[in-house]
Chains A and B, each alone.
Chain A
Amino acid sequence: MATVLDGIGQRTLTELDYVGSLNIQLWATLRAMVKSLPFVGNRHRWQASVRQMMEIGVEALPMVSLMAICSGFILAMQGASELRRFGALHYVIDLVAVGFTRELGPLLTAIAVSGRSGSAFAAEIGTMKVTEELDSLRVMAFEPVEFILAPKYLAALVSVPCLSIVSNVCGILAGGLFMFFSTHLSPIMYGRYVLTSIELRDVITGLIKSVAFATIIAHVGCLEGFRVRGGPDSVGRSTTSAVVKSTFLVIVADAVFTAIFYLTVKP
């Protein structure tokens, strides 16, 4: 019994240590991020941020778009197969439009970015640690949080919401294609229905979620990289851990945000 309690206690302390480290890193990054901003910050950090935006955002566009199109079709088809029985096929439009704007767009984007960029952050920083590049940065009077993490975080904060919007558009377009082929609903009519079914609030809640997801992915990925100890095998473990932990935390955060938005909505 004592061993079990000891194990639970140890695990709890480990998790609290992890959450604490994430918080410390987040605040340090927020302080350092001013130097990554255009005009007021350091030109080199801003350039690094733009390069990261290309890697996190632009290079992920085809993948995110394709995932959203496939998911849009799946959602529309699954919805239609049930709603058709009640003669409510037109509700497929609401399902796809609201489902994507509030939920699926940001979530699918976060999962894609977590797999692509979260793992890349962990691998890059972990390798830098193993090869003494982080030490090298420190003795060259650079702060790794400012030099490495802040540009990545800024880039994620810009790229993930943008990708979420693209994902929303692609998912809704896929729903439109389905409606066109199944009910011959014209794209213009579909567009009108979509605009009436979604509200500004849906878009904003989706964007708030995607900012939170970007924070989780960037910080978990980088923290896993900074926590690398030992050799190359440790880099592999941290990369896996970054994807697993960030995906898990994204889904937990999604549930929390959805609950908050659900409870605060006025019927």
Chain B
Amino acid sequence: MAIISVRDLVVEYDGRRVLDGLNLDIQQGETMVLLGGSGSGKSTLLRQIIGLERPKSGSVHVKGIDITRCSQAELKTVHRSIGVAFQSAALFNSLSVEDNVALTLREHTKLAPSIIELMVWMKLALVGLADFGKLRPQELSGGMKKRAAVARALALSPEILVLDEPSAGLDPIVAAELDELILLLKEAFQMTVVVVTHEMPSAFRIADRIAMLYKGTFRSIGTKEEIRASRDVRVRHFLDRIPENLTEAPATTAYFEKYLQSPEAN
């Protein structure tokens, strides 16, 4: 049974359809990469999967609970089994890095402070930040912030780890380090990992399966090999880095052609 199951998901903002009838199953223990260009709807889909927004129609089942219709109490239970690292890291600037990681442990468990301290150290050591726990988030580099966000997401040892654009804004070496960290976490904890990205090297390094989004619909869902071999024109454009305006007349060309044909230009 799929740990995350998206069915006929439709999301609209002010009447504009952002996600159009999506269906997706994510199996327990797999790494699913949601790939797509800017504005394709991948972050919107992620917000639906983690229960931050409610759709216009359709459902999202996480561990068998429909989080689009469940009560707040059920949603909280689901949230405790999901760890999320946001694109901006979203660390609490008023707290130190170790307090950020310790927050959920202090609030949601009855563990002794010494045990929490040890667990926080372990999570920070796992992401290579054991010596930086006392620092404030604003004192960290971009890559360190992302790793700290992953450590915080791992605090309650969740079954599902969700990462929004983990390599965005990072140099290739730091991005590659983060990819290796994701692989290590999956290997070590057998987690289900959902990653949103538009970085293809990263996607093909970490994914078990890739779902390619284009303008709110899935163009292709499959393994890395299946996606690489895809004949879908949009997938090919994305993989081969072909700008869309080579196949369609760009808006500016159309405008000038129309202008040149008008009496005003003649």
Cβ of A135 within 8 Å of any chain B Cβ, yes or no, is yes
Interchain CB contact under 8 A, B79 and A141: yes
Residues on B with beta carbons closer than 8 Å to the beta carbon of A139: 50-52, 79, 82, 84
Q: How far is the CB of A42 from chain B (nearest CB, A)?
A: 8
Residues on B with beta carbons closer than 8 Å to the beta carbon of A142: 107
B79-128 contacts to A (CB < 8 Å): 79-80, 82, 84, 86-88, 90-93, 103-104, 106-108
A44, A132, A138, A141: the one within 8 Å of B88 (CB): A132
Interface size class, chain B: 20 to 34
Cβ of A133 within 8 Å of any chain B Cβ, yes or no, is yes
A93 to B103, CA, bound (A): 54
- Minimum CB distance partner of A124 in chain B: B94
Residues on B with beta carbons closer than 8 Å to the beta carbon of A131: 88, 90, 93
Residues on A with beta carbons closer than 8 Å to the beta carbon of B52: 135, 138-139
Interchain CB contact under 8 A, A140 and B104: yes
A122-152 contacts to B (CB < 8 Å): 131-133, 135-136, 138-143
A131 to B108, CA, bound (A): 23
Interchain CB contact under 8 A, A135 and B107: no
Interchain CB contact under 8 A, B80 and A141: yes
Residues on A with beta carbons closer than 8 Å to the beta carbon of B84: 136, 139
Cβ of B76 within 8 Å of any chain A Cβ, yes or no, is yes
Residues 33-56 of chain A, each 1 if its beta carbon lies under 8 Å from chain B, else 0: 000000000101000000000000
Residues on A with beta carbons closer than 8 Å to the beta carbon of B106: 44
Q: How far is the CB of A150 from chain B (nearest CB, A)?
A: 14
- Minimum CB distance partner of B107 in chain A: A44
Known contacts A44-B106, A44-B107, A133-B92, A138 near B79 by CB under 8 Å: yes
Chain B residues near A (Cβ < 8 Å): 47, 50-52, 72, 76-77, 79-80, 82, 84, 86-88, 90-93, 103-104, 106-108
Chain A residues near B (Cβ < 8 Å): 42, 44, 131-133, 135-136, 138-143
Taking A136-B84, A138-B51, A138-B79 as given, write out 14 further A-B residue pairs in contact, using a Cβ cutoff of 8 Å, ordered by the A residue number.
A42-B107, A131-B88, A131-B90, A132-B88, A133-B92, A133-B93, A135-B47, A135-B86, A139-B51, A139-B52, A140-B79, A141-B79, A141-B104, A143-B72
Listed A/B pairs (13) with beta-carbon separation below 8 Å = A132-B88, A133-B91, A133-B92, A133-B93, A135-B47, A135-B52, A136-B92, A139-B84, A140-B79, A140-B103, A141-B76, A141-B80, A143-B72
